[in-house]
Amino acid sequence: MPDLRLGVLGYGLRGSIARTAHRPGAGARVTALADHDPRARAEAAPAFPGARICTDHRRVVEDPDVDAVLVLTPDHTHADLAREALKAGKPVFVEKPLAVDIESCDNVLRTARETGTRLYVGHNMRHMPVVRLMRDIIRRGEIGAVRTIWVRHFVGYGGDWYFKDWHAEQRCTNGLLLQKAAHDIDVLHWLADGYTERVQALGDLMVYGDNPHRRAPGEPKTDDWYTKDGHWPPHTQRGLNPVIDVEDVSLVNMRLDNGVLAAYQQCHFTPDYWRNYTVIGDAGRLENFGDGPGGAVRVWNSRRSGYRAEPDAEYRVPTVEDNAGHGGADPLLIDEFVRFARDGGLTDTSPVAARMSVAAGVRATESLRTGGTPRAVPPLDPELAAYFERGQTG
Ligand SMILES: NC(=O)c1ccc[n+]([C@@H]2O[C@H](COP(=O)([O-])OP(=O)(O)OC[C@H]3O[C@@H](n4cnc5c(N)ncnc54)[C@H](O)[C@@H]3O)[C@@H](O)[C@H]2O)c1
């Protein structure tokens, strides 16, 4: 079978997804790429020998040698670029979040439906071994029916990753409850088997807002903007984005449409980076310790007790063959996209769920910027939801 020919829009940090997808002779290869930034284009040329590299995304979208498009650009550009690709009849992979407002999400879904072109949103966490392990434990009934989920996200590299470029600006992300939490709100919805219908949040810019060491507008990021062991504590950060108007701490409460109550907390100035999920059912509780290879999910379900470090069951997070990219999630995500772009069918990721995670994040952001007032999350048009739930057919 010939390779699926991929056109790539945006080759920054997340260019890793394009490199993962480039498997000449093994199902998919990159044949065209567009990025505004000459540095990005220079890096792309040797990574994809023979690919057409250009500045204008339209040349990629309209290229007859492109079968499907990967949208890997900043968040506020996703919806327009995805719609252009869909209108050109090219199946599209869009990075999360699907868009930075609810209306744009709905427009992308509607365009996919109207054009009959396949839409895929890259929520890679649905392919993360730790998430699948938790979901399997829940589905086996080990903790009974899920009643409440509490997620804590310690974003240890927050200063490097989110406060040194466009991520720090509401203009580009709306807020980090979309940019960052869209992943976890989606997983939380998946584990609970429901969508948020009511949300309330508090948040603040507590640490990075006070740091005066900003770059001048237009000045590029320094080469050492990210280091594994450096830049700690946060006040030693240098070269922050000229504009910082997103929150670095957010606390969100959610009620889902099936009655589940959930909480999500995000902090960008912790020393360590990981996510901790606690899921409590009506017959037990699970919690993850570590979220990559070497981590474990522990279950307590046999009896009541005081503090008990020893769980009733412990499951190691499986190590996958290709451990690259988010605990092995990225290669699996690309496998699923390539299969879907070619053949269609159901997928573990879901455009409807992607829209619902953005919708919850948008309303939570509104809540935290208005003193914590509760907000209703609008449901998706049921007819549109049904189209996607059928696997984008009919
Ligand atoms: N799923 C994940 O785990 C994950 C991880 C990191 C980033 N992301 C998402 O991936 C996307 C890209 O993030 P990043 O960190 O790579 O950003 P980045 O800033 O490093 O790279 C974005 C690139 O897009 C280019 N660009 C912007 N507008 C363009 C346009 N109209 N046409 C062509 N190129 C354009 C920029 O020049 C830049 O090179 C974001 O939406 C982000 O949220 C997802």
Exposed, middle or buried by CB within 10 Å (0-12, 13-18, 19+), for 366?
A: middle
Percent of the chain exceeding pLDDT 70 equals: 99
What would the pLDDT profile of 34-56 be if each residue is shown by its tens digit? 999 999 999 999 999 999 999 99
What would the pLDDT profile of 115-129 be if each residue is shown by its tens digit? 999 999 999 999 999
Look-up of token digits 């023979």: 50
Indicate if ligand 1 lies below 6 Å from the C-beta of 160: no
Distance between CA atoms of 80 and 169, rounded to whole angstroms?
A: 19
Across residues 56-74, what is the average pLDDT? 98
The pLDDT of residue 176: 98
Across residues 280-302, what is the average pLDDT? 96
Torsion angle defined by CA atoms of residues 268, 333, 73 and 250, in that order, rounded to the nearest 10 degrees: -20
The pLDDT of residue 322: 62
Indicate if ligand 1 lies below 6 Å from the C-beta of 127: no
Percent of the chain exceeding pLDDT 90 equals: 95
Look-up of token digits 């939490």: 181
Distance from the alpha carbon of residue 73 to the mean position of ligand 1, in angstroms: 3
Of the candidates 375, 359, 347, 368, the one whose C-alpha atom is nearest the C-alpha of residue 108 is 359
Q: What are the residues whose beta carbons fall under 8 Å from the beta carbon of 129, sequence distance 6 or more? A: 293, 317, 318, 319, 320, 327, 328, 329
> Which ligand 1 atom lies nearest to the CA of residue 326?
3
Contact 266, 153 (CB under 8 A): yes
Indicate if ligand 1 lies below 6 Å from the C-beta of 35: yes
Instruction: List the domain boundaries for the chain.
Output: 126-327
Q: Which amino acid is at 264?
A: Y
Nearest CA to ligand 1 atom 40: 74
Residue 226 phi, psi dihedral angles, 5° rounding: -125, 130
Indicate if ligand 1 lies below 6 Å from the C-beta of 179: yes
pLDDT at 324 over 70: no
What would the pLDDT profile of 271-284 be if each residue is shown by its tens digit? 999 999 999 999 99
Across residues 349-370, what is the average pLDDT? 98
Indicate if ligand 1 lies below 6 Å from the C-beta of 40: yes
Q: DSSP label at 54? A: E
* Cα distances (angstroms) measured from residue 329 to each of 81, 272, 281, 293: 24, 21, 26, 12
> Which ligand 1 atom lies nearest to the CA of residue 9?
33
What would the pLDDT profile of 339-356 be if each residue is shown by its tens digit? 999 999 999 999 999 999
Indicate if ligand 1 lies below 6 Å from the C-beta of 124: yes
Nearest CA to ligand 1 atom 15: 13
Q: How confident is the model at residue 323 (pLDDT cuts 50, 70, 90)?
A: low
Distance from the alpha carbon of residue 14 to the mean position of ligand 1, in angstroms: 6
The pLDDT of residue 319: 84
Range list of β-strands (E), 245-338? 249-256, 261-267, 274-281, 284-289, 296-300, 313-316
CATH class of 126-327: alpha beta
Distance between CA atoms of 341 and 159, rounded to whole angstroms?
A: 36
Q: 0.95 cut: is pTM over it?
A: yes
Distance between CA atoms of 209 and 169, rounded to whole angstroms?
A: 12
Indicate if ligand 1 lies below 6 Å from the C-beta of 326: yes
Distance between CA atoms of 49 and 36, rounded to whole angstroms?
A: 19
Distance between CA atoms of 18 and 47, rounded to whole angstroms?
A: 9
Nearest CA to ligand 1 atom 18: 12
Q: Which two tokens stand for residue 136?
A: 């399997």
